[in-house]
Structure 1
Amino acid sequence: SDLLWLGAVPVVLLWLGAVLAARFPLLGAASPQPSSQCQRKCGSVDIPYPFGIVHSPDDDDGHCAMNGFGLTCNDTGIDDGGRHRPFYDDVEVVGVSLQQGQARMLNDIFYYCYNTTTREMDSSGSSFRWLDFAGTPFRFSDITNKFTVIGCETLAYINGHDGRNGDDGDYGGKYMSGCVAMCRGDDVRSTLSNGSCSGIGCCQTAIPGGLQYYHVEFDSAFNTTEIHNVSSCSYAVLMDSSNFTFSTTYVTSPAFTNNYGGQAPFVMDWSIGNETCDVARKKPGSYACVSDNSDCFNSLNGPGYICNCSKGFDGNPYLRDPEHGCKDIDECKLPQLYHCTNGGVCRNRLGGYDCPCKFRWKGDAKAGTCIDHFPLAAKVVVGTIVGILIMVIITFLVILHKEKKKMAEFFKKNGGPTLEKATSIKIFKTEDLKSFLKKNKLIGSGSFGKVYKGLLENKLVAIKKPINGSVRENEQFANEVIIQSQVIHKNIVRLIGCCPEVEAPLLVYEFISQGSLHDILHSNNNKVLSTWMHV
C-alpha cells in the first residue's frame, strides 16, 4: 500500500480556508428562572438547570431549560425494557456536569466490514457518518475526546468541514485529520498488544478545540478483503479516550462494538452565550451566574462562560433559589473529602472550615501533620516528677493514717473516753499544743519531765510533758487527773486540761509568773497568791 509508510503516526491534514462569519445566535443566553414543577430526572440521569426536559430542543415552555439546553425524555421501547432516557435531538445524554461545564453523550461506532456473502465491503449506512452540533452551545471536548480507529488494514478520516455550506461552526476553517491502523506480517495476532494504541491494530489522534461538526469516512483503498478470516472489520469513532483501553480482541472479533453496545461515550463542552465573564456581568438581565456565592469562568473551548459555586459552597449556580442554589458546605460532616485528622479540631464556617490542632499540639491538621508540642523527653521528666509526687503524697497519707491510728490508741490507753465525760477538765488535741513544745518555749525540766510555756485562748499556760513511763495508764490516770482538776486552792496550781493523744499525756496548768511553789511558800514576805497572778 502507498500509505503503509505512515505506520503508527496519525495523518493530520489541516486545510486553511476562508473564514466565514459565525452564524449561530446567542444560544445559552440566560432566561427566567425555571418552574419548580420542571422534571429534573429522566430515567437514572439527573437533569440540572440550565438543562431541562422539554417537548423539543427549542421549546422553553415553563422555562424548564435555558435556550439551547432543552432535552427530551424518550421511552426507548419495549426492547429496552420500557426505560426512559434523555436525548439532545437524536443523541443520547448519559450525564451532565455543572462544575466542569460538560455533557456526556453516546456516539455511534462506525464500521467498515467485509461481507462474505456479497464479497464486498459494507459500512454504517454509507461510506461516512457525521455528528452536527453547529448552532448549539456545545463543542467537542478537545481535552477528553480522541478520534479512535481500530483495524488491520484501516485508514479513516475525521473531517470538520460541513459540505452543505462550508461552515464548521465555531471552528474558523476546514479541518481534516486521519488515523491509520495496520498489522505487520502474515500472523496478525502476533503483532498485536493489549493496552497499546500506537498504530498496530489501533490508532488515536487528538482534535482541535472549538469543533462543533465532524464526519467520518473510511478510505476504500484500505480494506479487510485479504484478511477477513482473521480481521473482517474496521472501526472509527470520536470517543472519550479516558474510557478506552485497547484489547487485541477488538481487531479479531466484534468485541469492540459489543462491549460498548454499538455506541461509545464522548464528551461535549458547553457554555453560556458567546461573551466573556467581564462583558456578561455588565448585563444583569441575561447574566447566568445568579446564585449568591457563585463565580464566573470563561470557557476554555470557544466563546461563552460557565458558572460554578464559590469555594466552600455547593449547589446550582444558575438558580436564585437559596434551597437549590449555592449553599455552604459543612466540611466537618464530610471527613472523607475534607481532612481534619491527627489531632485536629474541625470547625465549620461560611465558605470553608478551620482545623486547628488540639490544645498543646502544633502543625497543620488539614495535612495531618499535628505533633505534640510537648516533646517526649519533657513528657518523661514530667511523668517522673508526677510519679514521685504521687509516691510522696501516698507515703504522707499512709504516715498520717498511722499517726491518727496511733493517737486513737493512745487516747484510749490514757483514759481519753473517761476524761471526755468529766466537765472539770478540758481535752486538748495534739495540734493545739504541738507549737509550744519547742526549745525556746522550755521553762523548766526535772526527773519527771519538761515544762513549756504557751498561750491558749488568750491565757498563759504551763504545759508539762512527762517522761515516758512516768504516767499511770488507763482509768487510774484519768481519775487522778479529774480529781486534781477539781482541786481549787490559793496555794495550788490549778490543772486546766490534758492531751491524752500522745504516749505520755500532756498536762496543761495555770502559769504562775512569780517563781516556783517552794519560792512562794518559804518566802519571807509570805504573801498569798492573788488572782491576777494566775493567768
Structure 2
Amino acid sequence: MRTPSRSRPLPTILLLILAGAASVIAEQDEQQPVTHPGCPDKCGNISIPFPFGLMPGCFREGFEVTCDHTFDPPRAFLADRDTNRITVTEHDESAVPDDSYRSYSYPNTSYCPIELMDVSVDRSQARVYGPITSGCSTNSTTYKLKDQVMMLGRLTSAGPFAVSEALNVVIGVGWRVGVTAGSSYTTSSTAVACRSELPAGRLEDARNGSCAGRGCCEAALRQENSYYGPVTNVAPGLRLEDSNALWKTNPCSYAMVVEKSGYNFSTLDLYGDKVLPGRFPKGVPVVLDFAIVGDAACPEKGRRPPPDYACVSNNSYCVNATVGQSGYALSYVCKCAEHYEGNPYIANGCQDIDECKFPDLYYCSTNGICKNRLGGYDCPCKPGMKGDGKLGHCAEKFPLVAKVIVGTTGCIFIIVVISLIFLLRKEKRKTREFYEKNGGPTLEKAKIIKLFKREELVPILKSSNRIGKGGFGEVYKGNIGNELVAVKKPIKGNLLEKEQFANEVIIQSQVIHKNIIRLIGCCLEVDTPLLVYEFLSNGSLDDILHGDGKKPLNLDIRLSIASESADGLAYMHSQTNTIILHGDVKPANILLDDKFVAKISDFGISRLIAREKQHTRYVIGDTSYMDPVYLQSGLLTEKSDVYSFGVVLLELISRKKTFDDNSLVNVFIEAHRRGERATELFDNEIAVAEDLELLQNLAGMAVECLNLDVDQRPAMTDIAHRLLIMNQSRNS
C-alpha cells in the first residue's frame, strides 16, 4: 500500500496568531476580490474564495461547493457526495459484558454532504461540521449504535483534503467506554486511543470541562491510525467496556474527532441521546488541511511552472505539501509573500499591506513617521531626531546632554589635541623599541630579508583573511603591492616566541631551495614580530588528501610530491651550514603551488635547536607523526624527521589519516612483517594493477623509515635519491 509522507501543520498557537493577524489585515480592503470575476464569492454568511467555487469555471477540480438556498441563511456543502460525504449507519446491537458475542440487526445506512463552516486561504485550511458516533441503550442488553464516518476523497485517487492532525483531537464521552480513531465498528481491532471510566458508577467523579478519563477522555489524532497516510476520514469508533452497566448508569456514549477546544465536556452529556447532539445539531467543528493535488509539486527555481499551476498571483510563492491520500500524488499550497495578503490563487490576488493602518501589528514609534511601500514599510524618525522608529530608537539629535557636551568639547579640545600628540609620540617611540628589541638593526644588514612597515601588514590581519592556525600561530593571506603573500603571526604570550623568531629568520634567510618555502621578509615594529612568506595557491597536502579542499591525485603527482618533499628535507639535513632539523614533518607542513610542486614549511622545532640545543622537552609538534624514540628520549635527530616522513608516505599512498594510536602505521608494519602485499590498504584511486608493484615499493620504503631501531632507518638523502629514480623511471 502506498503511503504519502505526513502533513506538517503549523503549531496551534502560531496558527491562532496568524489567524488573528489575517482577520485584522483583511479589514483594510473589504472589496478585495477573493474569486474570479463573475463568480459568486459567498454562500449565506460564508465566504467562498477560489480555489473553492460555486459554479463551473469558478473552482479547481475537487473544490466545488454547493450552496443550499432552502435554508435561511443558505448553507454551503462540499460537492460530489461520492468523494466527500458523511456515512450514517444505524443498527441495534445486543452485547454481553465480556464482549465475547454480539448480534447485530440489519443496518440502516444513509449519506449526507459535508457542511462548510469557513475557509482560510492564507492558512490552507477549511473548517467543517464533523460527525458524532453514538451508542445509546434501549434496555439492559440492547443499545442502538449510530456510526458516522466522514470520508474525504476516493480510495483510488487523491483528494485535496486531509484532517489536520495538529488542530484536531479524538474525544470519548461515556461511563465505561474505549474510543478508537481508525474504525467506526465496535468489533474493530484498532487500538484504543483513549478510555473513559467512572469506577463503581461514581458519576460525581466527572468534572465539567475535564477530559482526563472520568466521563470524558481525549487523545491526539495520530497519523498511524489512518490506513492511507494523511488522515482522510473521520471515523471514531466506540468500544463498550461493560455493556450491561450502560443501561443502569449511562444511557449514551459518544466518540468524535473535533477541533481542539471545539468541545467542552459537560456532565449532562452523559444522559440521554438529546443533550450532546442538541448542542451540536450540525456536528462538531473539524479542521481540514487542503492543497492543490496533481502530478507536480512546486516547480524548481528557474523552471517554468506547469500550465495548470495554481499560484498565479504576483507576489505569491509555492510550498510543497503532503495533503491527499494517494501515495503517488504530489501536492502544494500557495502563499502570499511577506507584507502581502489576499488570495494567491487568483490574478493580482496578493495585494500590498498598508502596514501603517495597523500599528498594533506593525510597530512604528510615536516619534516616527510610518511610510508604506511595496513589500514593507519604513518608519524614519521625525525631523530633528535620529534612529530607527521600527526599533523604537528615536532620539533628539541634540538633546540637552548633547548640547552640554558640545559646549564643553570646545573647552577640552586643546587638551585632547595635546594628548593625541603625546600618544602619537609615545606610539612612535614604542614602535622603535619593538624594532630594536626584535633585532632590527642587526637584520637591516641582511640584504635578503625585507623589513616591512607595520601599516603594510596590519590591514591583512583580519579574521576574514585567516587561512590557517598551528602550534606557533595564525596564518593570513593578503596582497602587498601586486604580490600575494602569507603572513604568519606567532601566538602572543608564547614564552618561546622571541627565540623562535630570531632563529627562524636567521635559518630561513640562508635556506634557498625550490622545495622549501621562501621567506620574503618580516615586520619588527610590533610586539609579536610578523613573518611574510610566498603564498602557495593549492594549500597544504593535508587539505588535498583529507580536508575540505580534497582533490583527486594520480600516482604521478603523489610520487612527485613525495620526491620533492624528500629533496627539501635532505637539503636541510645535509647541504646547509648548520644541520636543520624540522621536527614537525606532516602533510599540513607540506605546501603545494598551482602546479602541485611541494615545498616544506613551518620550521617550528628547528628554531629551538639550531643553536646546538639538540635535547629539548619543549618541542611543539603533532604526536601522530612524531618519532616514538624521540618522545621517549627527548633527543631529536635527522632520523626523527625520517620517521615522520615515513608516516607521510603511508598517507600519500593510502589517503587515510593517521592518529595518535598509530593504527595506520601498525597496519602497514604488520602486513610487511607477514610478507603480505598491502593492496587493500592503497587508495582505490591509484590502486590499479600496473602500479601495484610501485605502490608496494613505496610502502616498503615507508616501513624502513618507521623502524624503531633508529640506526636501521635510511638517511633522508638516500630516501630522496630512491624517490628521484622512481619518479624519473616513471616519466621516462
TM-score, length-scaled by structure 2: 0.41
Q: Is structure 2 residue 207 aligned with structure 1 residue 187?
A: no
From 298, 302, 319, give the equivalent of 2:346.
319
**Farther off after superposition, 201-210 or 152-161:** 152-161
Cα distance in 1 for partners of 2:393, 2:203 equals: 55
After TM superposition, give the deviation of residue 245 of structure 1 in Å. Answer: 3.0
Instruction: Name the counterpart of 1:148.
Output: 171
Cα distance in 1 for partners of 2:246, 2:183 equals: 31
1:237-286 CA distances to partner (integer Å, 9 max, x unpaired)? 11111323333333346543322225001011111124321359643312
From 247, 254, 258, give the equivalent of 1:239.
258
Instruction: Name the counterpart of 1:202.
Output: 216
Q: Residue 227 and residue 221 in structure 1: after superposition, are their counterparts in 2 closer, same or farther (change >3 A)?
A: closer
Q: Is structure 2 residue 286 aligned with structure 1 residue 278?
A: no
Cα distance in 1 for partners of 2:42, 2:382 equals: 45
From 128, 135, 140, give the equivalent of 1:105.
128
Matched ranges for 1:15-164 at <5 A: 18-19=1-2, 36-54=37-55, 61=56, 63-75=57-69, 77=70, 80-81=71-72, 83-88=74-79, 89=81, 90-116=113-139, 120-124=142-146, 126=147, 129-134=149-154, 135=157, 136-159=159-182
After TM superposition, give the deviation of residue 333 of structure 1 in Å. Answer: 2.1
Matched ranges for 1:55-454 at <5 A: 61=56, 63-75=57-69, 77=70, 80-81=71-72, 83-88=74-79, 89=81, 90-116=113-139, 120-124=142-146, 126=147, 129-134=149-154, 135=157, 136-159=159-182, 178-189=193-204, 191-205=205-219, 206-208=221-223, 210-223=230-243, 225-226=244-245, 228=247, 230-252=249-271, 254-274=274-294, 275-278=296-299, 282-299=304-321, 301=323, 303-320=330-347, 322=348, 325-362=349-386, 364-368=388-392, 370-372=394-396, 377=401
Cα distance in 2 for partners of 1:347, 1:154 equals: 60
Aligned residue-pair number: 327
- Output the amino acid matched with 2:65: L
Cα distance in 1 for partners of 2:251, 2:149 equals: 20
Q: Residue 35 and residue 195 in structure 1: after superposition, are their counterparts in 2 closer, same or farther (change >3 A)?
A: closer
2:131/2:284 contact within 8 Å kept: yes
Cα distance in 1 for partners of 2:403, 2:200 equals: 74
- Output the amino acid matched with 2:230: G
Instruction: Name the counterpart of 1:13.
Output: none
Cα distance in 2 for partners of 1:381, 1:20 equals: 72
1:53/1:64 contact within 8 Å kept: yes
Cα distance in 1 for partners of 2:161, 2:388 equals: 43
**Farther off after superposition, 289-298 or 247-256:** 247-256
Q: Specify the SS of the correspondent of 2:245.
A: coil
2:315/2:350 contact within 8 Å kept: yes
Q: Specify the SS of the correspondent of 1:68.
A: coil
Instruction: Name the counterpart of 2:693.
Output: none
Q: Specify the SS of the correspondent of 1:366.
A: helix
**Farther off after superposition, 234-243 or 271-280:** 271-280
Cα distance in 2 for partners of 1:34, 1:381 equals: 62
Q: Specify the SS of the correspondent of 1:250.
A: helix
After TM superposition, give the deviation of residue 380 of structure 1 in Å. Answer: 9.4
**Structure number with higher relative contact order (C-alpha < 8 Å, ≥ 6 residues apart):** 1
Cα distance in 2 for partners of 1:220, 1:160 equals: 14
1:144/1:242 contact within 8 Å kept: no
- Output the amino acid matched with 2:320: N
Q: Residue 359 and residue 185 in structure 1: after superposition, are their counterparts in 2 closer, same or farther (change >3 A)?
A: farther
- Output the amino acid matched with 1:330: D
Q: Specify the SS of the correspondent of 1:52.
A: coil
2:370/2:380 contact within 8 Å kept: yes
1:145/1:207 contact within 8 Å kept: no
1:86-128 CA distances to partner (integer Å, 9 max, x unpaired)? 4344100111111111111111211111125x8621121x5x6
Instruction: Name the counterpart of 2:409.
Output: none
Q: Specify the SS of the correspondent of 2:235.
A: strand
Cα distance in 1 for partners of 2:391, 2:265 equals: 38
Q: Residue 186 and residue 161 in structure 1: after superposition, are their counterparts in 2 closer, same or farther (change >3 A)?
A: closer
- Output the amino acid matched with 1:226: A
1:122-151 CA distances to partner (integer Å, 9 max, x unpaired)? 121x5x644343341111111111121111
Q: Specify the SS of the correspondent of 1:197.
A: coil
What's the C-alpha RMSD, in Å, of the aligned pairs? 3.4
After TM superposition, give the deviation of residue 182 of structure 1 in Å. Answer: 0.9
Q: Which has the higher helix share?
A: 2
After TM superposition, give the deviation of residue 301 of structure 1 in Å. Answer: 4.3
Q: Specify the SS of the correspondent of 1:226.
A: helix
Q: Specify the SS of the correspondent of 1:91.
A: coil
- Output the amino acid matched with 2:376: G
Instruction: Name the counterpart of 1:471.
Output: none
After TM superposition, give the deviation of residue 295 of structure 1 in Å. Answer: 0.9
Q: Residue 157 and residue 21 in structure 1: after superposition, are their counterparts in 2 closer, same or farther (change >3 A)?
A: closer
1:160/1:211 contact within 8 Å kept: no
After TM superposition, give the deviation of residue 214 of structure 1 in Å. Answer: 4.3
2:171/2:179 contact within 8 Å kept: no
After TM superposition, give the deviation of residue 376 of structure 1 in Å. Answer: 6.2
Cα distance in 2 for partners of 1:261, 1:364 equals: 54
After TM superposition, give the deviation of residue 213 of structure 1 in Å. Answer: 2.7
Q: Specify the SS of the correspondent of 1:258.
A: helix
Matched ranges for 1:424-503 at <5 A: none
1:147/1:207 contact within 8 Å kept: no
Q: Any unmatched runs of 5+ in structure 2?
A: 6-33, 82-112, 224-228, 325-329, 407-732
Q: Specify the SS of the correspondent of 2:299.
A: helix
- Output the amino acid matched with 2:39: C
Cα distance in 2 for partners of 1:296, 1:175 equals: 37
TM-score, length-scaled by structure 1: 0.54
Q: Percent identity among equivalent residues?
A: 33
Cα distance in 2 for partners of 1:376, 1:110 equals: 74
Cα distance in 2 for partners of 1:276, 1:130 equals: 27
After TM superposition, give the deviation of residue 371 of structure 1 in Å. Answer: 4.7
Q: Specify the SS of the correspondent of 1:314.
A: strand
Cα distance in 2 for partners of 1:198, 1:71 equals: 38
- Output the amino acid matched with 1:250: D
1:327-369 CA distances to partner (integer Å, 9 max, x unpaired)? 1111112223322233221001111101123344455533545
- Output the amino acid matched with 1:319: I
Cα distance in 2 for partners of 1:258, 1:370 equals: 58
Cα distance in 2 for partners of 1:242, 1:21 equals: 28
